[in-house]
């Protein structure tokens, strides 16, 4: 079962200009001209050292279901600006593009092609909105989640933000992205049903308030769920009421059954102080194995502070600041034309020039590589080449900064691996998304290839994404000629 199968066909989830341009291409006889588009991003959220690729599985589902219904065609006809021949083309639409992508869970960096689409101009242009909204959203949440997971230093982190997400898709797919990036599970049941993201949860404050006393609330819950007793202890007073009452229930209900409590949860107050005091109380009562779960508007910085202050916390539940990436809620991925084919089948590079240097695109049909140290397995740099280049990792390689070419580094004893894999060829799917647990494990392994300096939250080392000499020369030539290939 897929998330998209529960919704309408998303072919019309596009920007109107994608259709007006497609109509124009069609009328001018260039709609079938082969073009090359790249999706890439310009800046890592939160000033981090890297982002996490996510959302490819949903892009694949979308591309496999790309079609225009009769209702879609009638709606477009009602706009009064589309050629009937173009509408007929859409009615008989058959996806024919090649798609290459960096697998989900891979650390990604600004400027490198995350997804490349090659195919007829009308089709490749049409994909822009859905690819961007899907990969932008899930990569944003995965990136934020990975920061939070790393801040927890091995303590489990669960995603608890559904109620604060931007709509149903934000909740369900956000939980998926968070799990890929290292969260242990989610509060969102639908994300478990659809994707296998483990869902969990026990009680809210309303459960405690429903009963005449906190003791009765805890007692009933322990009787109902003796194998999964986790009690919320901050409805009234954590130390004077919540924890002592929880211990009493553990003694009276669980101990006679030979059961041990799962834990207590604190959702408010001074977490460091309360968790330390609660830990002493639990230990003194013989419940050293009772875990302390905390929630309450957490993020990577608060979690880091709690740990540095010696808070006795075993598990974190993180909500709104994760599921919305509250500190920086936009992942700035863009979708730009990189090349077109002429009538003879030659690939002609195209460039977007701007006075804002960060917005100058890198032209041509490209092939990105990641270079790893052979001995340590650590990532050295990424190298973007022209599609017909290969990196010979049996010989030394000189890397240079694309913006400051005088900054050079010779690398030896390395392994070069292509970053992108073919996903669709000629409109046919040739790649099967791994199980989400495999993606999660792969993500952890790949993040582990990054140096600690890149993993820092504050002022991380700038990981180099360099251009091959051939690609750099092509880009400079186009810049000097104002973007027009002579």
Taking residues 163-190, report their average pLDDT.
96
State pLDDT tens for residues 193-210.
Answer: 999 999 999 999 999 999
pLDDT level of residue 192 (50, 70, 90 thresholds): very high
The 10 Å Cβ neighbour count of residue 411 is 16
The answer to the question of residue 278 being in a domain is yes
The answer to the question of residue 147 being in a domain is yes
Residue 419: pLDDT above 90?
yes
pTM comes to 0.95
State pLDDT tens for residues 45-88.
Answer: 999 999 999 999 999 999 999 999 999 999 999 999 999 999 99
The answer to the question of residue 214 being in a domain is yes
pLDDT level of residue 13 (50, 70, 90 thresholds): very high
Domain that holds residue 200: 142-323
The answer to the question of residue 313 being in a domain is yes
State the pLDDT at residue 388: 96
Taking residues 1-29, report their average pLDDT.
85
Into how many domains does the chain fold?
A: 1
Of the candidates 116, 57, 139, which has an alpha carbon nearest to the alpha carbon of residue 419? 116
The answer to the question of residue 256 being in a domain is yes
Provide the CATH number for the domain around residue 285. Answer: 3.20.20.70
The answer to the question of residue 401 being in a domain is no
The answer to the question of residue 271 being in a domain is yes
State the pLDDT at residue 69: 94
Return all residues near 121 (Cβ < 8 A) that are at least 6 apart: 22, 25, 30, 31, 32, 33, 34, 35, 340
Q: Tell me phi and psi for residue 373, to 5 degrees.
A: -65, 130
Residue 122: pLDDT above 60?
yes
| SS3 readout for the chain | CCCHHHCCCCCCCCCHHHHHHHHHHHHCCCCCCEEEEEEEECCCHHHCCCEECCCHHHHHHHHHCCCCCHHHHHHHHHCCCCCHHHHHHHHCCCCCCEEEECCCCCEECCCCCCEEEEEEHHHHHHCHHHHHHHHHHHHHHHHHHHHHHHHCCCCCEEECCHHHCCHHHHHHHHHHHHHHCCCCEECCHHHHHHHCCCECCCCCHHHHHHCCCHHHHHHHHHHHCCCCCEEECCCCCHHHHHHHHHHHHHHHHHHHHCCCCCEEEECCCCHHHHHHHHHHHHHHCCCCCCEEEECCCCCHHHHHHHHHCCCCCCEEEECHHHHCCCCCCCCCEEEEEEEEECCCCCEEECCCCCCCHHHCCCCCCEEEEEEEECCCCCEEEEEEEECCCCCCCCCCEEEECCCCCCCEEEECCEEEEECCEEEEECCEECCCCCCHHHHHHHHHHHHCCCCHHHHCCCCCCCCCEEECHHHHHHHHHHHHCCCCCC
């Amino acid at each position: 079962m897929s998330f998209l199968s529960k919704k309408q066909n998303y072919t019309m989830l596009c920007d109107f200009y994608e259709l007006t341009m497609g109509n124009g291409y069609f009328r001018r006889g260039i709609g079938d001209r082969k073009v090359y588009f790249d999706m890439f991003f310009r800046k890592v959220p939160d000033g981090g050292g890297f982002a996490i690729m996510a959302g490819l599985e949903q892009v694949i589902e979308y591309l496999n279901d790309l079609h225009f219904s009769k209702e879609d065609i009638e709606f477009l006809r009602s706009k009064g600006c589309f050629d009937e021949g173009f509408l007929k083309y859409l009615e008989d639409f058959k996806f024919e593009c090649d798609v290459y992508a960096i697998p989900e869970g891979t650390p990604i960096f600004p400027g490198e092609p995350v997804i490349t689409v090659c195919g007829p101009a009308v089709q490749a242009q049409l994909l822009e909105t859905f690819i961007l909204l899907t990969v932008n959203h899930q990569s944003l949440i995965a990136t934020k989640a990975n920061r939070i997971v790393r801040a927890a230093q091995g303590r489990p982190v669960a995603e608890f933000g559904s109620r604060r997400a931007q709509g149903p898709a934000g909740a369900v797919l956000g939980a998926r992205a968070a799990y890929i990036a290292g969260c242990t599970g989610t509060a969102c049941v639908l994300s478990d049903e659809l994707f296998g993201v483990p869902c969990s949860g026990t009680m809210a404050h309303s459960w405690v308030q429903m009963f005449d006393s906190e003791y009765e609330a805890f007692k009933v819950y322990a009787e109902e769920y003796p194998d999964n007793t986790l009690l919320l202890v901050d409805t009234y007073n954590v130390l004077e009421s919540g924890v002592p009452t929880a211990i009493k229930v553990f003694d009276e209900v669980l101990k006679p059954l030979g059961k041990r409590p799962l834990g207590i949860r604190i959702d408010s107050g001074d977490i460091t102080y309360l968790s330390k005091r609660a830990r002493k109380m639990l230990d003194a009562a013989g419940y050293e194995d009772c875990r302390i779960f905390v929630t309450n508007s957490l993020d990577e910085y608060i979690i880091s502070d709690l740990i540095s202050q010696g808070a006795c916390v075993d598990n974190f539940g993180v909500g709104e600041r994760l599921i919305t990436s509250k500190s920086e809620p936009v992942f700035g991925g863009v979708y730009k034309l990189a090349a077109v084919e002429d009538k003879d089948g030659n690939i002609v590079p195209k460039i977007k020039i701007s006075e804002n240097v960060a917005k100058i695109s890198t032209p041509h049909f490209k092939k990105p590589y990641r270079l790893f140290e052979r001995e340590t397995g650590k990532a050295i740099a990424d190298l973007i080449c022209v599609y017909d280049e290969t990196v010979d990792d049996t010989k030394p390689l000189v890397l240079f900064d694309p913006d400051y070419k005088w900054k050079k580094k010779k690398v030896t004893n390395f392994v070069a691996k292509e970053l992108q894999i073919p996903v669709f060829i000629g409109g046919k799917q040739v790649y099967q998304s791994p199980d989400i647990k495999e993606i999660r494990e792969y993500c952890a392994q790949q993040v582990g290839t990054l140096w600690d300096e890149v993993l820092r939250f504050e002022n991380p080392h700038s990981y180099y994404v360099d251009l091959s000499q051939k690609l750099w020369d092509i880009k400079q030539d186009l810049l000097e000629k104002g973007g027009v290939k002579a």
